[in-house]
Amino acid sequence: MQIANRIKDKRDNIFWDYLYKRYTPKLFKLCRNFCRGYATGEEIKDLVHSAWYEFIKDLDNFDIDSGVKSLLYEITRNTCRDFLRRKKRVRYTNLVGTEETRGELYDIDIADNAAIWDYYKT
């Protein structure tokens, strides 16, 4: 309860600084792993800052008692998902084909996914 009250008091700069320093590296790692291969370091930093912004902006609507870490992680994952949707890229693993190409990862535009399904039908 005390943490929830301190978080809702946006003027408690010392506590906010503590939260930021504690969770930002973890959120950065989460974004980097979630968007691996799709985002540059600068884009990942932007995603983390966007997640913090969403957290602070909608703070009154969140149930802080469920846990700050889980809430920040959820917001960050959603921010990364939105980013990937905007990129409109999908990662596929080649499960068929020759032994040399099986298991390779490759990216494809979502607009081209009909070609993938045609490939797997044959």
Concatenating the DSSP letter of every residue in 42-77 gives: HHHHHHHHHHHHHHHHTGGGS-GGG-HHHHHHHHHH
Q: In this structure, are 96 and 74 located in the same domain?
A: no
Q: In this structure, are 17 and 30 located in the same domain?
A: yes
Q: In this structure, are 15 and 40 located in the same domain?
A: yes
Q: In this structure, are 55 and 99 located in the same domain?
A: no
pLDDT at 4: 62
pLDDT at 67: 81
Q: Look up the domain containing 76 and give its range.
A: 2-87
- 19 pLDDT above the threshold of 60: yes
What's the pLDDT band for 109 if we cut at 50, 70, 90?
low
Report the domain count for the chain: 2
Mean pLDDT within 11-39: 88
Q: What percent of the chain has pLDDT over 90?
A: 29
